[in-house]
Structure 1
Amino acid sequence: MRLREDARSLIFTNLCSMLGTFFLGLGSVYIKSKEAPAKDILKDLVEMCRGIQHPVRGLFLRNYLCQISRDKLPDIGSEYGGDGDSINDAVEFVLQNFTEMNKLWVRMHHQGPIREKEKREKERSELRDLVGKNLHVLSQIDGVDLDMYRDTVLPRALEQVVNCKDDLAQHYLMDCIIQVFPDEYHLQTLETLLGACPQLQPNVDIKMVLSQLMDRLSNYAASSTEVLPEFLQVGAFAKLSNAIGKVIDSQPEMPVFGSITLYVSLLTFTLRVHPDRLDYVDQVLAACVKKLSCLPRIEDKKATKQIVALLSAPIEKYNDIDTALKLSNYPRVMDHLDNATNKVMAVVIIQSIMKNNTYISTSDKVDALFELIKGLIRDMEDTDDEELDEDDFKEEQNSVARLIHMLYNDDPEEMLKIIYAVRKHILLGGHKRLVFTVPPLVFSALKLVRRLHCQEGDVIGEDVPATPKKIFQLLHQTVEALSVVPSPELALRLYLQCAEAANDCDLEPVAYAFFTQAFVLYEEEVADSKAQVTAIHLIIGTLQRMNIFGVENRDTLTHKATGYSAKLLKKPDQCRAVYACSHLFWVDDQDGIKDGERVLLCLKRALRIANAAQQMANVTRGSSGPVTLFVEILNKYIYFFEKGNPQITSSAIQGLIELIMTEMQSDNSLSEPSMDAFFSSTLRYIQFQKQKGGVMGEKYEPVKV
């Protein structure tokens, strides 16, 4: 019996649908005949469709009505009407059809068994365009101007959206309204449109709806500068901000990711429409801070990603970190990031500074900047050092080092303030960071020293004179901090750099003090033999360039350098360091430093060490070692001979050449192609200089090999 009733119902419904389609077509023809007003026929047709209550069939029947009546609406310029009343009738017809279609569409959600709910929702999603076509038709009616849209169309459409209380319908229809009607209409009716948002169901993706609206308005503002006054006139920012606040308050279950996404969209809108209003930008950040303050900790990765997008937007827009530093709520938002994300954001800030070549020019800005990037500057709470990747750490600290070179001011007094500010922050960074951050600070201070060039600077405050002596004192304390790392090799290099700068400023006591510190480090801290070789050559090279020292101080330093050279672990290293010391006693650009006798003593000492190395090779290898050291010393003899050192004679050079040739011709000697080529090139050089004339041509008779 029940099957018979279902069959009868199905037959009746199908028959009604067929009859409905027939009468709709008949009504369309009747409108064309113009025997009756189009508005009356359309009213009868829309009422007739009420007879079909089956959701799917009713939807298709009303969609058919929408299609056949589209070109027969009594619009402006239409042959079927066109006066004011007719336009109202056309709008009323479409709105009624839209309302009934939406009711049928929503009804689909409630019909059928629960187990088929997912299937029904999929079918509903596929049929949504049938409902949306009505709104598209409304937007195409020429008579629908701003007044009619504001007074009739939008209120009726929003009424249906809010009252249907269906998640899918509300989201789709709000999107339709935003997409099909002109941007100008949205701007002028913004308050009405936004007023519906808090009334939507909690499961509606309101962030997507509002984001699309703000994106449309942003593009509208970008299309022409002439429309920007309209945004100010209607108070678009204030209305959007209030609406977002109400939506978030009305949906306490909204995840933090959704709330932050709304603020990101609002900030994007603000930066595009009101880029000059930093107060608006700061208001958005303040609202975000208020929301985040209610949470104990952000663990949602999506929310964290949106916060990064929020913080990155002003930097990308203005290409100037100075602007971000003016936003009081910017660091407050960063405080809510976890340590890892805080570092990521800090790197983004530094990259922006480097990319845009932005110089941070005051100590206050330096303090604010370092507060922003504190995740890279010092260890944060709850940081697990074991999880820190070494390569990532080095890259982060290298970025900080590059940043320090972007902190600059032409005014020496302000620059010194900047140096003090940077020093304050980096000394709190922990031992591992100092090896990366101290060197750029030292070189930045040395640049300032050379700019001052021994001028007595004015006083900054009460006790910070901008003088080289004060800066050198600061540098001494700063480099000394590396002793706790420990990193003696780096500290030694920096002491030598400071000594050279003191030399340029004619500050002999300061230069001597830095050299003394370098020697102390060498004696007490540098234990590795390779590091000792590198360090002693650095000391010798720097000392050679110094011209500030008096006789006593220079003799003391050169004596120590020569003594350290002779005490290196390996004989070849001793030899090379000792003959390098010969340059300390003969400096071309310093007339007072030309001690030929001490040069000769160094070279003879180097020869003795080389000979000892050769004998040691005979013992350990059972054969003579390479004579590279002798050839190197020969080149030093030739250099000083050409410089006019009277202690270096042609007979000494001749004897050394014969010694080398004897060693090379020995049956037990080891032959190395590179050494042979080196010696041959030296002999060719002597031959060339002899032919050329000059000192070598006058005093030396070359040996023929």
Structure 2
Amino acid sequence: MIGNGIDDEDKWLAEGIAGIQHNAFYMHRAMDSNNLREALKYSAQLLSELRTSRLSPHKYYELYMRAFDELRRLEMFFKEEDRHGCSIVDLYELVQHAGNLLPRLDADTVMDAVDFVLQNFGEMNKLWVRMQPQLRPSIGLSGLQGPGWVKEKQDKERKELRDLVGKNLHVLSQIEGVDLEMYKDTVLPRVLEQIVNCKDELAQYYLMDCIIQVFPDEYHLQTLEALLGACPQLQPNVDIKTVLSQLMERLSNYAASSPEVLPEFLQVEAFARLSSAIGKVIEAQVDMPIVGAITLYVSLLTFTLRVHPDRLDYVDQVLGECVKKLSGKAKLEESRATKQVVALLSAPLEKYNDIVTALTLSNYPRVMDYLDNGTNKVMAMVIIQSIMKTNTCISTAEKVDVLFELIKGLIKDLDGTSVDELDEEDFKEEQNSVARLIHMLHNEDPEEMLKIIYTLKKHIMAGGPKRLPFTIPPVVFSTLKLVRRLHGQDGEVVGEEVSATPKKIFQLLSQVIDVLSSVQSPELALRLYLQCAEAANDADLEPVAYEFFTQAFMLYEEEVADSKAQVTAIHLIIGTLQRMNIFGVENRDTLTHKATGYSAKLLKKPDQCRAVYACSHLFWIDDQDGVKDGERVMLCLKRSLRIANAAQQMAAVTRGSSGSVILFVEILNKYIYFFEKGNPQVTSTAIESLIELIRTEKQSDHITPDPASDAFFASTLRYIQFQKQKGGTMGEKYAAINL
């Protein structure tokens, strides 16, 4: 039935157009013959085709425009008085007897054209509004709706009429001569009056949107007060937030594309007017969802950042208004509202490309407080990524304090949320981001840098046992950088009995690292203690370095229980101790004695062997003349040989074979190293004896074939042979070794 209705309408339209064309033909012929009476007769018959109610608004408009086009020639004919010998006044009297008339234009001015279109706009809009009740299908006694095609037809007609209403506004914007003054004094007031008085929420929304879209941005800027003044007068259910958002977007784009117009924005006080209008709309529409209000603030903030980027007070004012709207709500629960708040907070970061600017906005953290925990962390990651992307340095303790308040969702558990509830991979990514951020906190002034470190410590210490292993190391390394900068400088008081001196800073480091040992991260704490010991060595602070080593040994003894962790830890201790040059004889002897003692007590014999021969380097250091004790080097090497032999015997007992000779080959290489360094205790005879021992072991029936150890041994022998053939002092020395 729908299809038949549409076909009938097309047929009726075709008949009407044919009638217009038929009468137009005779009208034109009469005008060519200068026959005024006939021309009027056929023009009246032409107009009679418009007397129909069978066409939809869209089809009727098409028929109307056909008639209007044909009458243009009649208008020109009327103006040529000489041809038909009749004055305009006489013509006016003559046509009063015609029953079919279009609205008459008694003059030919821009204002008349505007009046005509405005009148047409008003009548069409009233018709459109009156059609609204027809869209609510009645329910009969049976409870069933009427035919669905009827409603669809009504919907279609109303949509077509709506488009025609909008076309009137488009026509107004295109009329030549409708300048800013006419728009301001005549067009806009009459259009707004029609919009406000129609009391139809659909019509009001559509027409406000039409105004914004069809008229120039310059006109909107100069008539902002009138346009915004109409907003609170609209029906409560009108989606005015979208209208205002589109208006602000148009104006901000206008300002961005034409910077020369920015002074005009200041003259008309655009920000103040928009801000006031938004406040009135929110106040008037008491049922407006929170997402709607925040959407308006996002649009206003976008407008402000484009038009007044230097007015941080405006930006902060918008954020403050948002805080007022959010006050009284514990947290945002609606996802759309949360997304809008994130957009609000992201806008300044994107505009200024600098978190430091955002940190000066007092209301920025207050808005973040209304985010739920999950979104708070998302926003915190956005902030960190912005800092990393722009390589921004945060250079004052005050800004660091504000920044870490903003990202507190990543720093500590909020509102009882347990870190155990988080996804492990996400958690690691978040904490690694915080760790990278810590390295972006820097100030060349030692006093301010120490303030930053103390501020940092205050925030991260609340992180809990799972976060601290991620965040304490970067704090330690940032602090160590400061220590190295201070080396040789006199510290000054920076407040609260804190002096920027290496010794005082090392006390702080000790306190920070000690926390790790209490949160089940002893291996990490041990590594950091050793790093601090090296820094104390570089700062010529022997007591401090010794204390850090003592802390490391205590952790090793009391907390490091895993055998693999012990092996790693003891090699770190040996390597760090080898690089120390500040210790006197007594302190060095104490520390090396502990290191060798712990090495010999490792769980597995191969681990013992390797740790003990590593200790040999503690007694012979090239750049330290006072640390060249060849006898103790030899003691370590011989002890490692005994342990290697014991490992072979133990393997024979437990596995029925004596395993590989790899340990002996490794010890041989240590012999060669100290032989080249000039250790008198390591002689060519000792090397020959060890080579012979390895060959004997390799030929034993209990040795398991090991290509790797065989290749290592062969390579070592080739090295010795190469040195023998090299000549010179070293060649003469190696010549004594008989292979």
> What TM-score results when the alignment is normalised by the length of structure 2?
0.86
Gaps of at least 5 residues in structure 2 are 35-39, 81-104, 139-144
Q: Aligned with 1:591: secondary structure?
A: coil
Q: Aligned with 2:109: secondary structure?
A: helix
Q: 2:124, 2:161 within 8 Å by CA — same for their partners in 1?
A: no
Q: Aligned with 1:602: secondary structure?
A: helix
Q: Aligned pair 1:662/2:696, yes or no?
A: yes
Pick closer, same or farther for the CA change 1:588–1:691 going to 2, 3 Å. same
Q: 1:320, 1:353 within 8 Å by CA — same for their partners in 2?
A: yes
Q: Aligned pair 1:581/2:615, yes or no?
A: yes
Match of 2:370 in 1: 336
Task: State the AA in 2 paired with 1:90.
Answer: A
How many angstroms apart in 2 are the aligned matches of 1:557 and 1:568? 17
Match of 1:676 in 2: 710
Q: Which moved more, 1:646-655 or 1:430-439?
A: 430-439
Q: Aligned pair 1:90/2:100, yes or no?
A: no
Match of 2:423 in 1: 389
- Deviation for aligned residue 1:70: 8.4
Match of 1:601 in 2: 635
How many angstroms apart in 1 are the aligned matches of 2:70 and 2:273? 38
Match of 2:230 in 1: 196
Pick closer, same or farther for the CA change 1:156–1:612 going to 2, 3 Å. same
How many angstroms apart in 1 are the aligned matches of 2:346 and 2:401? 20
Q: Which of 105, 129, 132 pairs up with 1:109?
A: 132
Q: 1:499, 1:514 within 8 Å by CA — same for their partners in 2?
A: yes
Q: 2:483, 2:535 within 8 Å by CA — same for their partners in 1?
A: yes
Task: State the AA in 2 paired with 1:665.
Answer: Q
How many angstroms apart in 2 are the aligned matches of 1:272 and 1:555? 69
How many angstroms apart in 1 are the aligned matches of 2:79 and 2:580? 102
Q: Aligned with 2:462: secondary structure?
A: coil
Match of 2:436 in 1: 402
Q: Which of 509, 527, 531 pairs up with 2:543?
A: 509
Match of 2:294 in 1: 260
Matches within 5 A, 1:160-175: 160-175=194-209
Q: 1:331, 1:371 within 8 Å by CA — same for their partners in 2?
A: yes
Over residues 226-248 of structure 1, what are the superposed CA-to-partner deviations in whole Å (9 max), with x where a residue is unaligned? 10000000011111111111111
Task: State the AA in 2 paired with 1:403.
Answer: L
Q: 1:73, 1:80 within 8 Å by CA — same for their partners in 2?
A: no
Pick closer, same or farther for the CA change 1:473–1:244 going to 2, 3 Å. same
Q: 1:376, 1:400 within 8 Å by CA — same for their partners in 2?
A: yes
Q: Aligned with 2:414: secondary structure?
A: coil
Over residues 279-321 of structure 1, what are the superposed CA-to-partner deviations in whole Å (9 max), with x where a residue is unaligned? 1111110111111114343110000000000000001100111
Pick closer, same or farther for the CA change 1:397–1:196 going to 2, 3 Å. same
How many angstroms apart in 1 are the aligned matches of 2:346 and 2:427? 22
How many angstroms apart in 1 are the aligned matches of 2:499 and 2:736? 62
Q: Aligned pair 1:378/2:408, yes or no?
A: no
- Deviation for aligned residue 1:63: 5.5
Over residues 368-423 of structure 1, what are the superposed CA-to-partner deviations in whole Å (9 max), with x where a residue is unaligned? 11111111111111414443112111111111111111111000011011111101
Q: 1:28, 1:68 within 8 Å by CA — same for their partners in 2?
A: no
Q: 1:66, 1:134 within 8 Å by CA — same for their partners in 2?
A: no
How many angstroms apart in 2 are the aligned matches of 1:248 and 1:57? 39
Pick closer, same or farther for the CA change 1:83–1:287 going to 2, 3 Å. farther
- Deviation for aligned residue 1:703: 7.3
Match of 1:38 in 2: none
How many angstroms apart in 1 are the aligned matches of 2:470 and 2:69? 73
Gaps of at least 5 residues in structure 1 are 1-6, 36-40
How many angstroms apart in 2 are the aligned matches of 1:560 and 1:33? 124
Task: State the AA in 2 paired with 1:324.
Answer: A
- Deviation for aligned residue 1:639: 0.3
Over residues 334-363 of structure 1, what are the superposed CA-to-partner deviations in whole Å (9 max), with x where a residue is unaligned? 011011111111111111111111111111
Instruction: Provide the alpha-carbon RMSD of the alignment.
Output: 3.2
Q: Which moved more, 1:193-202 or 1:286-295?
A: 193-202
How many angstroms apart in 2 are the aligned matches of 1:121 and 1:702? 109
Pick closer, same or farther for the CA change 1:617–1:93 going to 2, 3 Å. same
Over residues 15-44 of structure 1, what are the superposed CA-to-partner deviations in whole Å (9 max), with x where a residue is unaligned? 9x94998499969989x9899xxxxx9xx9
Matches within 5 A, 1:139-288: 139-288=173-322
Q: 2:326, 2:370 within 8 Å by CA — same for their partners in 1?
A: yes
Task: State the AA in 2 paired with 1:203.
Answer: N
Q: 1:540, 1:584 within 8 Å by CA — same for their partners in 2?
A: yes
Q: 1:687, 1:702 within 8 Å by CA — same for their partners in 2?
A: no
Task: State the AA in 2 paired with 1:612.
Answer: A
Q: Aligned with 1:465: secondary structure?
A: coil
Q: Aligned with 1:142: secondary structure?
A: coil
Q: 2:684, 2:737 within 8 Å by CA — same for their partners in 1?
A: no
- Deviation for aligned residue 1:249: 1.2
Over residues 643-702 of structure 1, what are the superposed CA-to-partner deviations in whole Å (9 max), with x where a residue is unaligned? 000000011111111111111122331112221111111111111111112454213348
Q: Which of 577, 590, 602 pairs up with 1:543?
A: 577
Over residues 50-73 of structure 1, what are the superposed CA-to-partner deviations in whole Å (9 max), with x where a residue is unaligned? 997959634543465467658999
Q: Aligned pair 1:519/2:553, yes or no?
A: yes
How many angstroms apart in 1 are the aligned matches of 2:258 and 2:512? 55
Q: 2:301, 2:344 within 8 Å by CA — same for their partners in 1?
A: yes
Match of 2:489 in 1: 455
Q: Aligned pair 1:99/2:133, yes or no?
A: no
Match of 2:396 in 1: 362
Pick closer, same or farther for the CA change 1:328–1:690 going to 2, 3 Å. same
How many angstroms apart in 2 are the aligned matches of 1:334 and 1:277? 21
Pick closer, same or farther for the CA change 1:316–1:682 going to 2, 3 Å. same
Match of 1:345 in 2: 379
How many angstroms apart in 2 are the aligned matches of 1:338 and 1:66? 59
How many angstroms apart in 2 are the aligned matches of 1:93 and 1:355? 59
How many angstroms apart in 2 are the aligned matches of 1:262 and 1:72? 49
Q: 2:16, 2:63 within 8 Å by CA — same for their partners in 1?
A: no
Q: Aligned with 1:432: secondary structure?
A: coil
How many angstroms apart in 2 are the aligned matches of 1:204 and 1:262? 14
How many angstroms apart in 2 are the aligned matches of 1:67 and 1:415? 81
Q: Aligned pair 1:61/2:76, yes or no?
A: no
Over residues 478-535 of structure 1, what are the superposed CA-to-partner deviations in whole Å (9 max), with x where a residue is unaligned? 1111122121000000000000000001000000000000000000000000000000
Q: 1:575, 1:609 within 8 Å by CA — same for their partners in 2?
A: yes
Q: Which of 578, 586, 589 pairs up with 1:555?
A: 589
How many angstroms apart in 2 are the aligned matches of 1:489 and 1:204? 64
Q: 2:20, 2:66 within 8 Å by CA — same for their partners in 1?
A: no
- Deviation for aligned residue 1:203: 2.9
Pick closer, same or farther for the CA change 1:58–1:459 going to 2, 3 Å. closer
Task: State the AA in 2 paired with 1:503.
Answer: N
How many angstroms apart in 2 are the aligned matches of 1:570 and 1:300? 60
Q: 2:57, 2:160 within 8 Å by CA — same for their partners in 1?
A: no
Pick closer, same or farther for the CA change 1:404–1:665 going to 2, 3 Å. same
Q: Which moved more, 1:676-685 or 1:191-200?
A: 191-200
How many angstroms apart in 2 are the aligned matches of 1:561 and 1:28? 120
Q: Aligned pair 1:623/2:653, yes or no?
A: no
> What TM-score results when the alignment is normalised by the length of structure 1?
0.90
> Which has the higher Rg, Structure 1 or Structure 2?
2
Over residues 550-592 of structure 1, what are the superposed CA-to-partner deviations in whole Å (9 max), with x where a residue is unaligned? 0000000000000000000000000000000000000011111
Q: Which of 256, 268, 289 pairs up with 2:323?
A: 289
Matches within 5 A, 1:418-429: 418-429=452-463
Q: 2:381, 2:430 within 8 Å by CA — same for their partners in 1?
A: yes
Residue identity (%): 74
Over residues 117-164 of structure 1, what are the superposed CA-to-partner deviations in whole Å (9 max), with x where a residue is unaligned? 973446534553222211111111111000111111111222222222
Task: State the AA in 2 paired with 1:398.
Answer: N
Q: 2:687, 2:737 within 8 Å by CA — same for their partners in 1?
A: no
Match of 2:87 in 1: none
Q: Which moved more, 1:652-661 or 1:81-90?
A: 81-90
How many angstroms apart in 1 are the aligned matches of 2:274 and 2:374? 32
Match of 1:693 in 2: 727
Task: State the AA in 1 paired with 2:382.
Answer: V
Q: Which of 321, 330, 334 pairs up with 2:355?
A: 321
